[in-house]
Amino acid sequence: MINIVLFGPLGSGKGTQAKKIADKYGFIHFSTGELLREEIRKQTKIGKKIKSIVNSGALVPDDIMEEIVENFLKENCNTKGIIFDGFPRTLRQAKMLDEELEKYNLLLDLIIKLDVPEEIIKSRLLYRAQKEGRTDDNEAIISKRLKYYYRDTLPVLDYYKQTNKNIVSICGHRDVDIVFNDICLHIDKILLQKMQI
């Protein structure tokens, strides 16, 4: 089993690449955004709480995210692989994910950091908001969420460096297929290593 974290700010293309990886390799796509939007769509108690948090531009609290991840791993610990898209977003979540994976004798095999300049991120998100009618993608909220990313999520990368995780940086503002081909090279390398063990 291969576990991958797609790392990068909102609008860096994590969701697009995660779907392509899932299609090619048969991995499970863990998208916090999708899971949270599903709760909102169902109008569950937790969904209503999430909606007000998301609409304010804040991040969903760790305890809610931990519960979602715990249940997800329980159901998917015997799959070919998992792509974590939009998770972990905080240091606490990163440590919790390591602990949860350890319960199943698993670890993170690859952290893919998608590098995209901030001005491209903003224009991508404003275009997406227009196209999909997403109220959580306006200029003020985008700036607020980028601030959270720099403050809370970037330190996760330092934690991964300190714990000797396999981190690769990929230029994410090129053609989608070119970015995907670069990602595949790294995944194929890990698959080959696992076959030789």
Q: What is the pLDDT of residue 88?
A: 94
Map out the domains of the chain as residue ranges.
Answer: 2-196
User: Residue 69 in 3-state DSSP?
Assistant: helix
Q: What is the pLDDT of residue 36?
A: 83
Q: What is the pLDDT of residue 71?
A: 82
pLDDT digit string, tens, across residues 124-183: 989 888 888 777 678 888 888 899 899 999 999 999 999 999 999 999 999 999 999 999
User: Residue 51 in 3-state DSSP?
Assistant: helix
Cis peptide before 155, with omega less than 30 degrees from 0?
A: no
Sign, CA dihedral 4-77-97-22, equals positive
pLDDT digit string, tens, across residues 65-122: 888 888 889 989 899 999 999 899 899 999 999 999 999 999 999 999 999 999 999 9
Q: What is the pLDDT of residue 16?
A: 94
Buried (b) or exposed (e) across 7-18, using 16+ Cβ within 10 A? bbbbbbbbbbbb
What's phi and psi for 71, nearest 5 deg?
Answer: -65, -40
CATH fold, domain 2-196, is Rossmann fold (3.40.50)
SS3 annotation, 178-189? HHHHHHHHHHHH
State which H helix or E strand residue 119 sits in: helix 118-132
Is the pLDDT assigned to residue 46 strictly greater than 90? Answer: no
Q: What's the rounded Cα separation, in Å, for the pair 180 and 186?
A: 10
Strands (E), 39-151: 81-85, 110-115
Q: What is the pLDDT of residue 33?
A: 78
Residue in the block written with tokens 């990929």: 170
- DSSP calls for 141-168: HHHHHHHHIIIIIHHHHHHHHHTT--EE
Q: What's the rounded Cα separation, in Å, for the pair 141 and 60?
A: 14
pLDDT bucket at 64, cuts 50 / 70 / 90: confident
User: Residue 141 in 3-state DSSP?
Assistant: helix
pLDDT bucket at 51, cuts 50 / 70 / 90: confident
Mean of pLDDT values over 5-9: 94
Q: What is the pLDDT of residue 136?
A: 66
Q: What is the pLDDT of residue 197?
A: 66
Contact 11, 125 (CB under 8 A): yes
Is the pLDDT assigned to residue 195 strictly greater than 90? Answer: no
